[in-house]
Chain A
Amino acid sequence: MSELVNGKGLALIPKAEGKQTLKDFKSDQEVRWCPGCGDYAILAAVQSFLPELGLRRENIVFVSGIGCSSRFPYYLDTYGFHSIHGRAPAIATGLAASRPDLSVWVITGDGDALSIGGNHLIHALRRNVNLNILLFNNRIYGLTKGQYSPTSEIGKITKSTPMGSLDKPFNPISLALGAEASFVARTIDSDRKHLQSVLREATAHRGTSLVEIYQNCNIFNDNAFEQLKDPEVRDDITLRLEHGQPIVSASKAVVRAASGGIEVVPLAEAGDRVLVHDAHNPDPSVAFALSRLDEPAFEHVPIGIFRQVDRPAYDTLMAEQLEEAVAQKGPGDLSDLLMGGDTWRIG
């Protein structure tokens, strides 16, 4: 735990009286995802995590866009806003910027966040609005029934790409780091413990936290993340990112390359060259290099918090300007405002 992770992200949000349980966060709505969808695991993980925060339920808001994942808010007994395609970060920005007392979550998918809503996502990240953005990445369009998405691999055969997709995919982590996000992490739907550990840090972070969650769509893109779940290979290809710890898998290690970048070498050959993860490094270049390690396929996949740096949240800066304006000139008076400027009297 660093000095950054001290509950600062939750400091302005009223605390609940008494202990909460998972049941407190379950709404009365019937969950309607396909049987076997990774969204169930994420929902269960979030529902069982929220009581741990001890926040007043009424001060938690889930905002979503459009897509399978965006049904999420209906299933939580908090405030919720199921909005329109791609616009959740914009709507959540208005809410979070004007209500620092709320814990605002954005639930989005790879199509919602990176295609139609790409612009809003990068601008929320650069502004550092106080949001927890959970990006469910299943590398496919589910709700529209199986077209390729902006995270689908090149050559993906889908209904809209019978000869294979041509687009180079976005790497959401690289994109977020490029937008200078202050908190960027990746986790996976099937690993509840890890998912919750990332959520813990994300909620403690004040500002925008972007959490990419690899999520399986068992209907249109089943087993997209199979290697990361297969006990035979997963420990070899998963590079755990933990601040202050060496970046290694069961058999591999990340080291500085002679070129100045980083590379993955067999653990046995790494010796004392193993890179120690520094999520708090103000220079994002190593985090960015780490985000590129899984290109093009899942040879070695960093999982965990890539970057976590302290930067003032947008709503804080906005509120400070209002306070400063009042401190300088006093609170606004409508009569004075109207009478300002050149006036003259008749009669």
Chain B
Amino acid sequence: MTKQVQQLDRVIIRFAGDSGDGMQLTGDRFTAGTAEFGNDLSTLPNFPAEIRAPAGTLPGVSSFQLHFADHDILTPGDAPNVLVAMNPAALKANLGDLPKGADIIANTDEFTKRNLQKVGYDASPLEDDSLGEWRVHAVPLTSLTVKALEGFELSKKDAERSKNMFALGLLSWLYHRPTEHTITFLEQKFAKKPEIAKANIAAFQAGWNYGETTESFSVSYEVKPAKLAPGVYRNISGNQALAYGLIAAGVQAKLPLFLGSYPITPASDILHELSRHKRFGIRTFQAEDEIAGVGAALGAAFGGALGVTTTSGPGVALKAETIGLAVMTELPLILVDVQRAGPSTGMPTKTEQTDLLMAMFGRNGESPVPIVAPSTPSDCFDAAIEAARIAVKYRTPVYLLSDGYLANGSEPWRLPEVSDLPDISTEFATVTDEEFLPYKRDAETLARPWAIPGTAGLEHRIGGIEKADGSGNISYDPNNHDRMVRLRQAKIDGIDVPDLEVDDPTGDARVLVLGWGSTYGPIAAAVRRIRKAGGKVAQAHLRHLNPLPANTGDVLKSYDKVLLPEINLGQLALLLRARFLVDIISYNRVRGLPFKAEELAGVIQDVIDSE
């Protein structure tokens, strides 16, 4: 039987199953095959905070969405074209996101009475006509897998566990993905358990063969490789890119990296990654708590290291006092906040942009801290270097505001040439003929000298008590305090940040969509849709939140309307309104999920139409 092959320009697949079903791994492997094939891609893992919620329940559903295309894409996609549902819970939890006509590949073996009851289905949706508007492929994935592995010396349970590889094989057939990488991967992953490796490979191949032979799938699909800029690529998540950016920052600053950190979702992977790279001279310190994490990083910075701490919102709350000390002592420090849904514990595995005002103001006293926000997973690399550049040059703590969406999402990354990376090195203070003044400022940057222990002749004392201008001695003089408060502010206000660039191809758009951080992808995708439909809209994206680019006010004022989508209740809008007296139109959703391009396109169109 020769099957029909249909060409598509893009596909969105969502793998969904129980936390124990290996959906993240399945998604990762499909992504690797897709990257190797040369499509552009973007991923969105979505998993519960619980390590193993009760099997088969709605809270236990874990999913992985992948968008791949023959052109450059900006988001993991709004609505899946295909849902792989490993059990009734996965179907129920994801059906709402599925447009009519989409494919559903359901593992019929798991649609038992008991599993259906667990999620409130009275009858199997595969058997009544409730799924009539979708294309349902009922596949007994578990029993097919067990049957394929009959020759192996495996327990039934072990055989059943390979069903995710069967599903991967089937989807790989359906979309013409290369298979070699997955086979090599499985051989390596289970190198110590060759029988398990062989079984997984057999299940993977059985899934592929099933697609080839079954009548359930009459069409397979091809998505041609994308025409991306020439270069060497790898697929990378935001957390990994951020960790690499910190390593690169240490190299480019010629400083040893010291990470003081405490495990917290979704930032822990940065600690894990950095702890694997000790041969770069990186010291990673898993502290007793968040406070000790930042404290140790600041202590190391006093000693001449590039001090870094990584955390998420609740950790930032605990670190606030030490960040104030870093402001007062004017030492370089990188504060990575991988934002998550709050307040309090909130939803640890869900994304949000709600820490902006905390980063701006969440300390006692007038305590300005620069803020840099990456816009895409791979941009976390460059943003980390930029944060380090500011920290080192201006001797200040700097916030790097990532979030859960960037942290766990991934995309192809065109690798930079190391020789193109900026030199961000600095000079430690040395003895001169002049009297050493620990708070004497550089005329251009207002940075104070970084005089590290071990330097003879520069012995000095710093601390959290107000400093006399110049000498750094303790001072309660009212005028000195007023001057120092203003000097610290002026130093941050004077940081050299590039101008805000506006993307406005026709040059006559009257509506500007502004964003910051991880909303870049959905906003840019929405803007594309508007333009494709003949609409005119300008787009600008802020990377530096503090200080803002010098032209920010001019840009805002040159449009009739400024729309600012944020995954918070309008935090940047509050800052911009106060600062520039521009009546910004906010669009806010705090659902723990990134914006959808279609959703934003609708919002933008409404703003254009309301002119």
Contacts and interface: CB of A to CB of B under 8 A. Distances in A.
Contact of A95 (B247, B279, B302): B302
Interface in B440-461: 453-461
B412 to A, nearest CB: 8
* A-B pairs with lowest CB-CB distance, top 4: A347-B230, A82-B463, A94-B296, A94-B299
11 contacts: A58-B459, A60-B453, A63-B299, A81-B463, A82-B463, A94-B302, A94-B303, A99-B454, A101-B454, A337-B247, A339-B415
Contact of A90 (B234, B287, B474): B287
A19 interface: no
Interface of A: 14, 27, 29, 56-61, 63-64, 66, 73-74, 77-84, 87, 90-99, 101-102, 119-120, 123, 318, 321-322, 324-326, 328-332, 334-335, 337-339, 341-347
B204 interface: no
Interface residues of B, number: 69
B244 A337 contact: yes
A57 B299 contact: no
A27 B461 contact: yes
Contacts of A90: 287-288, 291-292, 295-296, 299
B260 interface: yes
A82 B235 contact: no
B38 interface: yes
B297 interface: yes
Given A329-B279, A338-B416, A342-B36, A82 B298 contact: no
Contact of B456 (A56, A63, A73, A346): A56
B174 interface: no
A322 B289 contact: no
Contacts of B228: 346
A342 B181 contact: yes
A339 to B, nearest CB: 7
A319 to B, nearest CB: 9
Contact of A97 (B251, B283, B415): B283
Given A98-B303, A342-B36, A322 B278 contact: yes
Nearest to B184: A342
B556 to A, nearest CB: 37
- Determine chain B's interface SS by DSSP, over half rule: mixed
Nearest to B276: A325
Interface string B565-576: 000000000000
Given A58-B453, A81-B462, A347 B231 contact: yes
A80 B462 contact: yes
A334 B463 CA distance: 36
A342 B453 contact: no
Contacts of A321: 278
Contact of B260 (A94, A334, A337, A343): A94
A342 B35 contact: yes
A324 B457 CA distance: 35
Nearest to B36: A344
B38 A58 contact: no
Given A95-B302, A95-B303, A102-B453, A344 B232 contact: yes
A101 B256 CA distance: 15
Interface string B315-327: 0000001101100
Given A332-B247, A334-B247, A81 B299 contact: yes
Contact of A87 (B233, B278, B291): B291
B281 interface: yes
Contacts of B277: 332, 337
Contacts, number: 205
A304 B464 CA distance: 34
Nearest to B456: A58
Nearest to B299: A94
B300 interface: yes
Nearest to B412: A344
Contact of B292 (A81, A93, A335, A339): A93
A93 to B, nearest CB: 5
Given A81-B461, A119-B288, A94 B298 contact: yes
Contacts of A101: 454
Identify the interface centre among B258, B281, B295: most chain A CB within 10 Å of its CB. B295
Contacts of A344: 35-36, 38, 232-234
B220 to A, nearest CB: 23
A83 B292 contact: no
A80 B473 CA distance: 12
B248 interface: yes
Contacts of B590: none
Contact of B461 (A14, A74, A91, A341): A74
Contact of A338 (B244, B288, B292): B244
Contacts of B329: 81
Given A91-B298, A343-B232, A59 B461 contact: no
Interface string B264-285: 0000000000000111111101
B465 interface: yes
B278 A102 contact: no
Given A29-B474, A94-B258, A346-B229, 14 more contacts: A27-B461, A73-B461, A74-B474, A81-B329, A84-B321, A91-B299, A94-B301, A95-B300, A98-B256, A328-B279, A331-B280, A338-B248, A339-B232, A342-B32
A78 B298 CA distance: 19
Contacts of B464: 66, 82-84
Contacts of B459: 57-58, 77-79
Contacts of A346: 38, 228-233
Contacts of A94: 258, 260, 285, 295-303, 305, 307
Given A29-B473, A334-B251, A325 B300 contact: no
Nearest to B331: A81
Contacts of B251: 332, 334
Given A83-B464, A93-B285, A325 B454 contact: no
Q: Name, among A14, A63, A91, A339, the residue most crowded by chain B CB atoms within 10 Å (CB to CB).
A: A91
Contacts of B278: 321-322, 324-326
B418 interface: yes
Contacts of B260: 94
Nearest to A327: B279
Nearest to A59: B454
Nearest to A27: B461
A27 B301 CA distance: 24
B454 A332 contact: no
A345 B299 contact: no
A224 to B, nearest CB: 28
A83 B463 contact: yes
B247 A84 contact: no
B292 A120 contact: yes
